[in-house]
Amino acid sequence: MSIPPNIVLILADNLGWGELGCYGGGVLRGAPTPRIDALAAEGLKCLNFNVESDCVPTRSALMTGRHPIRTGAMQSIPAGLPQGLIPWEVTLGDLMKKQGYATACYGKWHLGDRPGRLPHDRGFDDWYGIPRTSNESMFTSTPGYDSDVVPLPYVMEGQAGKAARELHVYDLEARRKIDGELTDRTIAFMREQAAKKTPFFAYVPLTQLHFPTLPHHDFAGRTKAGDFADSMVEMDHRVGQMLDAIAELGIADDTLFIFGSDNGPEFRRPWRGTAGPWTGTYHTAMEGSLRVPFIFRWPGRIAAGGATNEIIHIVDLYTTLAGIAGAQVPADRPIDGVDQLDFLLGKRATSNREGFVYFIKDELRAAKWRNWKMHVVWEVEPNDGPIHLESPRIFNLLQDPKEETDVGTEHNWVRGPIRRMILDFQNSLKANPPIPSGSPDGFTPKPKS
């Protein structure tokens, strides 16, 4: 490709597989999603797109192409401490910027909240959003909250080469307004770059539907089905605003537009979501945690109206988008992502991966291979207490999408290829020891000699 395409990557927060109309939800959930449904009809709808266990690990996998067990970005660490990605990691923003892209991150980062680890320090020219997560918006409304012990959460902005600024407290009112602000910033960024004819990468990690799931005032009461449904309708509208801006700028054919979710649905009530036909929520190894909605639209390149049950993993976006931009992924560390461009473009019939391993924090929980799933630790609901299985449970996901019937005895052969995949990954961890969670900025991993 002589002129690299623009890339817009919208990542919803805790949007379950079963929420959108095009995935069986929508009106059924009291919240029509016509704009995202139309987006799916214009591109490729993924039915087997897989992510990590929760917000931090999924975002680290996206930004590095590496499973979070490698990067140490497996969970949140208290504010101000070394959390997220160490500076040694090469982010997707770094790769894009090196290829001449204008880069922006508008939304929830959750990969570091101190100088040197914020988006504008990690490959993004411009950033506006929150460094950590949306539930912090509840702090100031909580009786007994002490800002001397836990710092106030702020909406922030930063430009590359400059210190970030704290703009205003991220409270419940700010939580309602922020996705509208993220959308406005994204549209302004796209207009500016289109006028300059500069290829751009806009990473837009929205805050909906993370708890507290509160809609903008313009959408409050819209569905008469509650805050959750109103927030879904707002999210659909925000995606539509960005799509409309791309159409108005006349750059749709030159823009790869991606919409997806970082995790399976929220498990906490009253904000609990749904994974549709799959069992479970995020923070587990059930399919309801792993599988999320993901849609790719690239007019004239990706065929419209397609749907696929081929396995794709969030780490694959790193390698695939790097290839589209003409960037080389780092060769001095294990990269777990594989290039899926030929599959997305219809040049090959199957995904470029057959399976993957799945950790929660530093514990191997399960592995998927073809249409099979093997659990070595069993936990259907978060906080139920994981059961470490003496004999792994195996499920055929085509015949048993809810993972109810263990077929490990009659299909014992499946253990072989899955065990080999697990062993290969474990050997890779031995050769390239994981970065300890909470490592300081100067930490440099060294492979074992």
Q: Which residues are catalytic?
A: 55, 110
Residues 6+ positions from 19 with CB-CB distance below 8 Å = 25, 26, 29, 31, 33, 209, 232, 265, 273, 274, 276, 293
Q: Are 264 and 288 in contact (CB under 8 A)?
A: yes
Q: Are 361 and 373 in contact (CB under 8 A)?
A: no
Burial class (CB in 10 A: 0-12, 13-18, 19+), 99: middle
DSSP per-residue letters across 234-295: HHHHHHHHHHHHHHHHT-GGGEEEEEEESSS---STTS----TTS---TTSSSHHHHEEEEE
- H helix intervals, 291-394: 315-325, 341-344
Going by C-alpha positions, the residue among 168, 171, 176 that lies closest to residue 142 is 171
φ/ψ (deg, to 5) at 48: -140, 45
Partner residues linked to 156 by β-bridges: 129, 166
Q: Are 3 and 253 in contact (CB under 8 A)?
A: no
Distance CA 193, CA 255 (A): 12
Residues 6+ positions from 356 with CB-CB distance below 8 Å = 50, 67, 311, 313, 315, 336, 367, 368, 421
Q: To 10 degrees, the CA torsion angle through 15, 178, 322, 246?
A: 100
Burial class (CB in 10 A: 0-12, 13-18, 19+), 151: middle
- DSSP assignment letter at 380: S
Going by C-alpha positions, the residue among 149, 170, 156 that lies closest to residue 112 is 156
Q: How far is CA 197 from CA 101, 103, 336, in A?
A: 11, 14, 33
68 sits in which H/E element: helix 68-71
Going by C-alpha positions, the residue among 133, 130, 288 that lies closest to residue 212 is 133
Q: What sign does the dihedral 437-442-447-449 (CA atoms) show?
A: negative
